[in-house]
Structure 1
Amino acid sequence: MLSLLTFPKGFGLFSMSPFCIKSALMLELSGQPWQRSDMLDPTEMPHRKLPVLATPDGQIADSDGIRDWLEGQGADFDEGLTTADRAHTRAWVRLAEYHLGLHLLQMRWNDDAVWPEVRDQIFQPVPEPMREEISAPVRKEIQNGLQWQGLARFTDAERMHRLEQDLKPIKALTSERPYLMGDRITSADLSVAPFLISMLQTSEASQISKRLRDDAVLCAYLSRVTETVPLP
């Protein structure tokens, strides 16, 4: 049986990491038997990251690597799509993971109103009196990365404007059809939905969470994805 090495549950979700949620969704759709194996410290893992899939071929690192391996076993997450449509799904994957993902990091690690909840979720195994001391260097490293990348340099209003530019096309498509590419879940949904639901669930104190909670179309879309591919 395959084992998905994943960050633990958190924020009411299968995992604190949208990349781990994406990988679990792919495993469910692939039809392969699998189990979860939770861990908090990925420093001994390839690339020092999670998720990692333990397979008969060895450890497969990164959600894209996991996708490649599952497709090599016969899965097709974009079945029935044209070459042009497959190009669109790849663009959606990259938008989710490289732009929505940055907004999720900013929201969780750089918003002082949200940080206490995030700290207590992610560092829950650490005794409470020590959590701030242990978490502070990790938070600082991520904050520095966001500053270097540039998203942290914008004002809150500027960041929300940029995020809206992503949310509007997602809403436009899912208001007309069940999923981003039509009547079936594709790789686009397997990346976009985990990042949106992670934003939605992280904290009621977040402006982004409120934006998503108040959007009936996007909430209905996320419900369709989670109901179609329920995770253990």
Structure 2
Amino acid sequence: MLILRAIGPGGGLPSQSPFVMKAMGFLHVLGLDWQVDTKADIRKQPNGKLPVLVDGDKVIPDSAAIALYLQEKAGRWLDAGLSEYEKAVSHTVIRMAEEHLYFLAVYNRWADEENFATLRPSLQKIAPFPMSNILPGIIRKGVLKLVDAQGIGRMSDELRLARLKADLDALDAVLAGKEWMFDGGPGAADLSVAPMIATLTKSPADTAMHREILARPGLVAYGERALAELFPAPDALPFPPR
């Protein structure tokens, strides 16, 4: 049985972490048998991060490593039907989503007080009491420090919004009205991009970034389609039986 150590659901998403969502998406799309563990102490995980996949005595941290491991285990590579050019575009889109758009989405969710309030309940589950009451604030401070070091956190609101618009323009151009990023069904790029889009569209606070994504109906529909077809529903996660 595959076990995914994860940050739990919230705000209409199966996980509050886009990278946990990515791992969940690969498990779901590949049709593998798995369970989710949202009570694992994040401080004791490899790299001090989630998700972490456990397969017997194998422990695999990092969503990219998890994606490769799961495709090899299933004997099915989601991008096998793409041309070499499409694979290169997919790789580029994934890097943009995970190493730039991600930080914009994180800033929107973690810096805004109203948005962060929706994260707190899930974060309180990844450490035992009384640390559970302290950990969300510690994690938030660390996340915002990371976003600051990356550069997004030190930008003006106007520049952050301009960066977001450029990323969304690029994704709109690649999607070009299709159901998925590439013809032939959902691929690795969708499982990286869709969690970032969903994190922005499901933002409870009326921020400028939230309004920007909502002004793009094609991307909003793409995110909703991905949530319905590529990821487990928040109320249908495969928790271990009690």
TM-score by length of 2: 0.85
Q: Which residue of the partner structure matches residue 30 of structure 1?
A: 30
The alignment partner of 2:42 has SS state of coil
Give, in angstroms, the shift of residue 189 of structure 1.
0.5
Give, in angstroms, the shift of residue 121 of structure 1.
5.4
Give, in angstroms, the shift of residue 161 of structure 1.
0.3
Q: 1:72-117: CA deviations, max 9, x gaps?
A: 2212011211122112111111111111111122112223453344
2:126 & 2:66 partners in 1: Cα distance? Answer: 28
Question: For residues 88 and 38 of structure 1, do their structure 2 counterparts lie closer, same or farther at Cα, with a shift above 3 Å needed?
Answer: same
Question: For residues 136 and 57 of structure 1, do their structure 2 counterparts lie closer, same or farther at Cα, with a shift above 3 Å needed?
Answer: closer
1:183 & 1:121 partners in 2: Cα distance? Answer: 35
Q: Which residue of the partner structure matches residue 147 of structure 1?
A: 148
User: Is contact 1:177-1:183 (8 Å) kept?
Assistant: no
Q: Which residue of the partner structure matches residue 46 of structure 1?
A: 46
Q: Which residue of the partner structure matches residue 90 of structure 1?
A: 91
Residue type of the partner of 2:52? Answer: V
Q: Which residue of the partner structure matches residue 108 of structure 1?
A: 109
User: Is contact 1:118-1:202 (8 Å) kept?
Assistant: no
Unaligned regions of 5+ residues in structure 1, if any?
none
User: Is contact 1:113-1:205 (8 Å) kept?
Assistant: no
Residue type of the partner of 2:174? Answer: L
Backbone CA RMSD of aligned residues: 2.4
User: Is contact 2:16-2:119 (8 Å) kept?
Assistant: no
Q: 1:123-165: CA deviations, max 9, x gaps?
A: 4799xxx998654343333222222221112111110001110
95-104 vs 38-47, which moves further: 38-47
Residue type of the partner of 2:30? Answer: S
Give, in angstroms, the shift of residue 228 of structure 1.
2.5
Residue type of the partner of 1:34? Answer: W
Question: For residues 69 and 125 of structure 1, do their structure 2 counterparts lie closer, same or farther at Cα, with a shift above 3 Å needed?
Answer: closer
Residue type of the partner of 1:28? Answer: H
Report 1:110-125 matches (<5 A): 110-112=111-113, 114-119=115-120, 122-123=123-124
Give, in angstroms, the shift of residue 197 of structure 1.
0.2
Q: 1:20-56: CA deviations, max 9, x gaps?
A: 1111110112222112121263111111111111113
The alignment partner of 2:4 has SS state of strand
The alignment partner of 1:66 has SS state of helix
Residue type of the partner of 2:45? Answer: M
The alignment partner of 1:65 has SS state of helix
Q: Which residue of the partner structure matches residue 226 of structure 1?
A: 227
Q: Which residue of the partner structure matches residue 166 of structure 1?
A: 167
2:204 & 2:85 partners in 1: Cα distance? Answer: 37
Residue type of the partner of 1:43? Answer: R
Unaligned regions of 5+ residues in structure 2, if any?
237-242
User: Is contact 1:173-1:179 (8 Å) kept?
Assistant: no
2:209 & 2:132 partners in 1: Cα distance? Answer: 25
Question: For residues 132 and 103 of structure 1, do their structure 2 counterparts lie closer, same or farther at Cα, with a shift above 3 Å needed?
Answer: farther
The number of residues matched between the two structures is 229
1:123 & 1:224 partners in 2: Cα distance? Answer: 30
Identity of aligned residues (%): 29
1:66 & 1:157 partners in 2: Cα distance? Answer: 36
Give, in angstroms, the shift of residue 169 of structure 1.
1.8
Residue type of the partner of 2:72? Answer: G
Q: Which residue of the partner structure matches residue 137 of structure 2?
A: 136
TM-score by length of 1: 0.88
